[in-house]
Amino acid sequence: MKIALLPESFSVSGGIPDPFDSPDKSPFQPLFASRVSAGFPSPADDYVEGGIDLHRHLVKNPAATFFAKASGDSMQLKGIYDGDLLVVDRSLSAKTGDVVIAAIDGELVCKILDLSNRQLVPANPSYPPITLCDEAECLIEGVVTHAIRYL
């Protein structure tokens, strides 16, 4: 694995940059393509891009997004395992096939939405589907857009 290096001359001046200053700024330092030696500047440094800000990539609607922790094995076949970090967006309207968070009997659950059969379907055959009652729409708490696993 190749690791990009910070130039030797890299220094922090004017105070440490504020990574949380504004949502537009990336909290990541730019990576320089090469080690800078005195005298000859690297021709690649003109092509420096901002780092990849995962948060901005994963969270499209910050005000409507919350994180949740998956528990149990009922969503295994969809690739969601115990302990996964789920990104949940409330601003999306849930469609059939979406992985959703719903409130069932006072518990938050993660299942696949099936609107035509009015069911919440687990992604594991050893669990039965949950039938939705009439006001089911208001029980959907958000659409899961990403699952992040700790390895």
Partner 1 sequence: MYALVDCNSFFASCEQIFRPELRGKPVVVLSNNDGCVVARSKEAKALNIPDLHAYFKIKDQLLANDVRVFSSNYELYADISQRVVSTLREYTDALEVYSIDESFLQLDGFQENFYLYGQSIKAKVWQDVRMPVCVGIGQTKTLAKLANRIAKKSKKLNGVCVLDDLAGWAALFKKMPVDSIWGIGSRLGKRLALLGIKSVYDLQQANSKWIRKHFGVMVERVVAELNGERCYQLDKQPENKQQIFSTRSFGEKITTLNPLQQAVSQYAQRAAIKLRKQQGLTQTLLVFIETSRFEQSRLSQQRVISLDYPTNDTRVLIKAAKQGVSAIFKSGYRYARAGVGLLDIREENPTQLNFFDRYQSKKATKLMQVVDQLNKKEMQVFFASTGIDPFWSMQRRLKSPAYTTRLSEIPVVK
Residues acting as catalytic residues: 74, 111
As measured in angstroms, the least distance from the Cβ of 141 to partner 1 is: 7
As measured in angstroms, the least distance from the Cβ of 77 to partner 1 is: 16
> Whose Cβ is closer to partner 1: residue 85's or residue 115's?
85
Residues that bind partner 1 (CB under 8 A): 15-16, 18-20, 61-64, 66-72, 74, 85-86, 90-91, 101, 103, 105-110, 139, 141
> Whose Cβ is closer to partner 1: residue 109's or residue 113's?
109
As measured in angstroms, the least distance from the Cβ of 49 to partner 1 is: 24
N-terminal to C-terminal alpha carbon distance within the chain: 18
CA-CA distances (angstroms) from residue 43 to 32, 34, 126, 131, 134?
A: 11, 9, 59, 62, 64
CA-CA distances (angstroms) from residue 15 to 2, 8, 19, 50, 63?
A: 30, 18, 12, 20, 30
The DSSP call for residue 146 is: E
> Whose Cβ is closer to partner 1: residue 3's or residue 63's?
63
As measured in angstroms, the least distance from the Cβ of 130 to partner 1 is: 11
Length of the chain: 151
CA-CA distances (angstroms) from residue 9 to 35, 41, 56?
A: 9, 12, 30
- Beta bridge pairs of residue 144: 88
